[in-house]
Each structure stands twice: as structure tokens, then as C-alpha cells.
Amino acid sequence: MDNVDGAWSSGDLRIILENGEYPLLNRGDIAMLTVAVQRLRERWPQARIGVLTERPALLRTRVPGAEPLAPEGSWPPLPDYGRVRRTAEALRDRVWAALLVAELPREVLRVARAALRRGPFGVAAEPKAVAADITADTGSNDAEAKDRSEYRPPAALAEAALVVAVGGGFLCDADAPQAHRALNLLEAAVAQGIPAAMVGQGIGPLTDRGLRRRAAEVLPLVDYIGLREGRSGRGLLTDLGVAPGRILVTGDDAVEFAYRHAPARLGSGLGLCLRIASYSAIEQDQQDRIAATVRAFAQRAGAHLVPLIVSEHGGEDRRSTLPVLEGFPRRRRPVPRSGSPVRLARQVAECRLLVTSTYHVAVFALSQGIPVVALATSAYYEDKFYGLAEMFGTGVTVVPIGATEELAEAAEALWQRAPLLRNPLRQRAAEQIATGREGFERVFGLIEDVSW
């Protein structure tokens, strides 16, 4: 594609991705990011796709085709073509800054950006002036107002044609700092007339007053929001004032990532992933009871145990999962700390059944046709797992974290039914992949279908 609506050539097109996980320590989040970058790259092969991250070297290794951007950083400088270019850029910047100060409607700003972009030197605004415009004092003394007043968007935003918050579960009470950061970026994009979208999002629980108020200010301004589940997310967005026509339930983007790595036949292992975290509390006695139940079942079924490590934040998955396997005669080694999401997906493929208290490894398993016993540890995880069960329609049994008898019964039932569940689960995964790509068509249209 050489031209997008006459305004953006594919080589000039710059896209910023807010991935919600700057250290890149969660393999599920990296899988979602990988799929988003691949879909964008398929459409616009020459575009520059910048990902906000604190670990640029790791991003280059894990997500080919992505360009690391520091949270407040700029795009690498373009070649300097001399005084003529500098003069033209200075004039263009003054025009653009004046348009921003005038507080024109976002539709008018988009037309202006496109017109300026048609020039030989593109659009760039002074980041500090933009930040001052969108972070004016609201008179509020609460935490989110302070967070907003201190926020500075990345300098790279000035030259972006599109901002996308890629899949994550960060718009919730449990991850308020990241939620505010993403909302601030989306608002900054809207203030400059830049199309803003969200894909593969898990929304809520959202009971914190300040965060909910902030979400109600920003989310209705976002052009498109793709949800990974419709059980609670759609209603919550509607309550926050988002127009129904801007919402689509697509499923998780990591479904496509895992689907590609499905084995030719069902595995024979029992996968396990537990997590110790503030939003996924597992007490020691609960961990001990789960361990006893899982080990006893694996012994009866003649299964080897497969530890599945998704997150490396503070060793949260390893600290809960690996003790369960200690001393068990048939067990696999966990993916190393440097292991990729692909390696995790291949480990999941060894399993006939998964027992987990974490969301994304369940996505990996179900997308490969492997049933899941999901241990609900909080309201946050109940939303995640019941939403996932609704998306796949079968093959998921949600069990309260302390209900070990229910865990044993669910494991037995799904273990026996696993061969029959494989094809229906894979079919639901394929349907979600198709819907996810439909959602990305709406993202592409934010640039391609704008008429002025």
C-alpha cells in the first residue's frame, strides 16, 4: 500500500502502541503485542510501529517488526536536509501549535494534520505545549488529578498517525497506575486529533471512584474498543458512556498466537500454573491443598506434570507453581526465565488438561483445543474466567480457589472429555481470530476511511 487516503504514505506512517506492560515480563501480554504488530505490519508493511517499553533490546528480540519507544521518548531523528527543511519544519510546528491552542473540534484537527502531513516534512508539535494543553488543572486534589497533571505524553506522539492500546487487563482497580497511564495517552492522542483505538481489552472490575471517573472522561472519546469478553466488559463500557457502535467483542488477540502452535494430536500431560500476586491471592494452606489434589489426580491418570510460567514479575508464577511439582516423579522443566512465548505455547501443547489460576495460559490452552479448570481467586479473576468460558462455550470449568473437591471432580470430568472437546474449542478459537481481524479492519479504517 503506497498511500493511505492521499495523506499518509506507508513509509511515513507512524503508529504508537501502548502495550500496558513496559518491562515485557509477561508472556501472555507479549503474545498479544506480537499479534497486533503482525496485523498492522500485514496492512502497512513500511509503517514504523513504535511500542512504549522500558526494555528495548528485549522488545527487538521478542517482537520483530516493532520499534522501541521510551515512555516519554521520540522517534529516532530523520536526516537533516539543511536550512530549507529546518525553516519549513519551524513554520509547520508554529501552525500546528496554533491549531492546538485554538481548541478546535477533533474532526477539524484531523483534517489539519492530514493537510500538514501532505507537505514534505510531516507534522510535529512541541510536546511540552501539547502536554500543558491537555493537563490543565481541574481543581481536583485527588490522586488521579495529580497523576494527570504530572503526565507527559511521549514526544513521539507528535508525529503519530494512530495510537492503539493493545490487549491487556490493565483497565481495572488492580492496576490503577497503568490504567491512568493508558488513559492519559489516549486522551493526549484525542487532543491532537489522532485516531485512538483499543484492542483485546479486558475491562474491570472498576469500582475505584477516581479511576472510574477518569475512564468515563476518556473512553467515550476513543474511536474503537475491542473487548476480549462480553460478559462484563460491554455493560461496563456502556455505563461509562461509550457508544455501543464503538464496541466489538473480539476475543483475546493471544488466541491467534496460541492457535498457530497447536499440536497434531492431544497431549498427555497435566499443565499447572498458579500465581501469588496482590490481585491473585493464594494462601499457603490453599496452595498445599491444591498441590495435594493435583498430584493425586496426576498419579491416578498416569500423567506427567507440566509447570507453565506466564509472568516473571517477581517470580510470581514460579513461587506458586514449582513447589507443587517438588518430588513428583514425572514432571517437565519450566520454561527458563529467558524463554519466549513460543516456547510456553509449545509446552502447553504437551497437555491434555490445564489447571490454572492465571488467565493467559488458559487462553493458550483453549486456543489449542485443551480444556481448562480455572481457579477463581478474586472478583478480578472471576470476570476473566467466566468471560473466557463464555467466549469458548465449552471446555472451561471455573472453581473457587479453596474448593479442592470440586477441583478434583472437574479435572476428572474434563480429562475424560478432552478428546471430544478438542475440535469444538479449536473452532471457537478460529471464530475469535476472524472476529479479531474484523476488529482490526475497523482500526485500519480510522486512517484509510476518513473523508475530508
Question: SS3 for 270?
Answer: strand
Return contacts of 389-394, CB within 8 angstroms, 24+ apart: 390/229, 390/230, 390/231, 391/228, 391/229, 391/230, 391/249, 391/251, 391/252, 391/428, 391/432, 392/366, 392/425, 392/428, 392/429, 393/424, 393/428, 394/421, 394/424, 394/425, 394/428
State the residue for C-alpha cell 497523576.
147
Question: SS3 for 432?
Answer: helix
**Would the CATH topology of 14-249 be identical to that of 258-430?**
yes
CATH class of the domain comprising 258-430: alpha beta
Task: Tell me the percentage of the chain whose pLDDT exceeds 90.
Answer: 66
pLDDT higher for 380 or 265?
A: 265
Length of the chain: 452
| pLDDT at residue 136 tops 60 | no
pLDDT higher for 150 or 253?
A: 253
Please check whether residue 356 is in contact with residue 372, taking contact to mean a CB–CB distance below 8 angstroms: yes
Can you tell me the mean pLDDT for 106-116? 71
CATH number of 14-249: 3.40.50
| pLDDT at residue 221 tops 60 | yes
pLDDT at 90: 63
pLDDT at 89: 61
pLDDT at 98: 62
Of 100-104, 132-136, 447-451, give the lowest mean pLDDT range.
132-136
pLDDT band at 7 (very low <50, low <70, confident <90, very high): very low
Average pLDDT value for the chain: 86
- Tens digit of pLDDT for each residue in 375-434? 998 888 888 999 999 999 999 999 998 899 999 999 999 999 999 999 999 999 999 999
- Tens digit of pLDDT for each residue in 283-322? 777 788 889 999 999 999 999 999 999 999 888 899 889 9
pLDDT higher for 178 or 141?
A: 178
Peptide bond into 205 cis (omega under 30): yes
Cell numbers for 243: 457508544
Taking the C-alpha atoms of residue 432 and residue 452, their distance in angstroms, rounded to an integer, is 33
| pLDDT at residue 1 tops 80 | no
Taking the C-alpha atoms of residue 354 and residue 325, their distance in angstroms, rounded to an integer, is 14
The three-point CA angle 61-62-64 to 5° equals 75
Of 29-43, 82-96, 411-425, give the lowest mean pLDDT range.
82-96
Domain range list for the chain: 14-249, 258-430
pLDDT at 277: 63
